[in-house]
Chains A and B, each alone.
Chain A
């Protein structure tokens, strides 16, 4: 083989290498470079946004604090949950503090409305008309939202009246907070054995 032929073969080989270089290295490398450049640009935008947010971070923290307070205030406008002991004590204390009497308090089931839940509490109260007026005022002006769903009055004398109420208590669907009982301070476990706790009704 002459030198010229060898050179021609070498040129063809190098051209092939050029093509291979172009297709298998330059093209993928450039495509990766473009892709990475694009991702970096996107990351830079994200970083910029985050830096802008960072400048407002104290504002956000303060806002979160304020919103927490507002949420707590709103939560306090309704009962924390359908907790019979808690609600019973609230209603009963209100009845007693107005020198009224009651025989029983009935609790309705929890009902789901579109944006909130509610349940009814029904009871009759007996007592002085002015005290009943005061009791109603307490309900209507209560910080908690309580609706007088139905009410009836029966004048039993010039001063004495029977009033029957169905009150509607509202609560938030996500609100399942616990009550703070203030009536659980008695002593417990005063019997030595389990059978000491049995007594006849007459004794």
Chain B
């Protein structure tokens, strides 16, 4: 039972390094050496248990992840439908915006023709008419009397649709051909 008593290491038998390392333990009692190896072993066991625990947990996580991924894969069609839904919604929105632009750009002529018709005094006629983009209108009116021309200018102010007619010369002849240029207010 000699290992239960302190043991001295002589300098002559070992290298200096080992001597220094073991010199600390050299006077330690044997049970202390046992406790060192025991605690190191316990530490190792604890480490091993931790590794085992982590490995088992990791396997559980892997299994759970695989299960979730397989569920996700089985639901992939949902994403496809959702993507399709988003694409259609975007496409519809773009189409709707383009359609609104087209409707804004669209020009007609009948409404304006009816406005002009209502402004013509009795017995005045239009011989030719042209319109560009439904914004400017050029036409020739046969005016039976000069007064009709004046009435015409005043009448075109009434709807508030057109800019005022700029007419420098007014013919005093009867049945005169009067050229009129109308422009919608706000037109370029």
Chain A interface residues toward B at CB < 8 A: 2-5, 7-8, 10-11, 14-15, 17-18, 21-22, 25-26, 29-30, 32-33, 36-37, 39-40, 43-44, 46-47, 50-51, 53-54, 57, 60-61, 63-64, 67-68, 70-71, 74-75, 77-78, 113-116, 133, 136-137, 140, 145-155, 168, 170, 172-173
B117 to chain A, nearest CB (A): 11
| 12 residue pairs from A and B, CB less than 8 Å apart | A7-B33, A11-B33, A14-B41, A40-B61, A47-B68, A47-B72, A63-B89, A145-B106, A151-B130, A153-B128, A154-B128, A168-B107
Residues of A within 8 A of B105 (CB): 113, 147, 168, 170
Q: Is B95's beta carbon under 8 Å from chain A?
A: yes
Which chain B residue lies CB-closest to A114? B101
Task: Let me know if A29 and B58 touch, CB within 8 A.
Answer: yes
B57 to chain A, nearest CB (A): 6
Give the contact stretch, choosing among B43-51, B144-152, B159-167, B170-178: B43-51
Tell whether A148 pairs with B65 under 8 Å between CB atoms, given A33-B57, A33-B58. no
**5 extra interchain contacts, Cβ-Cβ under 8 A, other than A7-B36, A53-B81, A168-B107?**
A17-B44, A67-B91, A71-B88, A116-B102, A146-B106
Cα separation A36 to B101 with both chains bound (whole Å): 52
Task: Let me know if B110 and A137 touch, CB within 8 A.
Answer: yes
From 92 to 136 in chain B, residues with beta carbon under 8 angstroms from any chain A beta carbon are 92, 94-99, 101-103, 105-110, 125-134
Residues of A within 8 A of B130 (CB): 150-153
Cα separation A172 to B92 with both chains bound (whole Å): 12
Cα separation A25 to B51 with both chains bound (whole Å): 7
Cα separation A149 to B130 with both chains bound (whole Å): 11
Task: Let me know if B127 and A155 touch, CB within 8 A.
Answer: yes
Task: Let me know if B128 and A155 touch, CB within 8 A.
Answer: yes
Task: Let me know if B75 and A155 touch, CB within 8 A.
Answer: no
Cα separation A77 to B96 with both chains bound (whole Å): 11
Which chain B residue lies CB-closest to A165? B109
Contact partner, B107, options A2, A18, A32, A149, Cβ 8 Å:
A149
Residues of A within 8 A of B71 (CB): 47
Which chain A residue lies CB-closest to B85? A60
Residues of A within 8 A of B16 (CB): none
Task: Let me know if A60 and B3 touch, CB within 8 A.
Answer: no
Task: Let me know if B33 and A8 touch, CB within 8 A.
Answer: yes
Tell whether A2 pairs with B3 under 8 Å between CB atoms, given A21-B48, A39-B65, A155-B126. yes
Cα separation A51 to B76 with both chains bound (whole Å): 10
Residues of B within 8 A of A150 (CB): 130-133
Contact partner, B36, options A11, A64, A77, A153, Cβ 8 Å:
A11
Contact partner, B68, options A11, A33, A44, A146, Cβ 8 Å:
A44
Tell whether A60 pairs with B68 under 8 Å between CB atoms, given A26-B50, A149-B133. no
Tell whether A53 pairs with B78 under 8 Å between CB atoms, given A4-B30, A8-B22, A36-B62. yes
Task: Let me know if A15 and B65 touch, CB within 8 A.
Answer: no
Tell whether A14 pairs with B51 under 8 Å between CB atoms, given A33-B58, A71-B95, A150-B130. no
Cα separation A22 to B49 with both chains bound (whole Å): 12
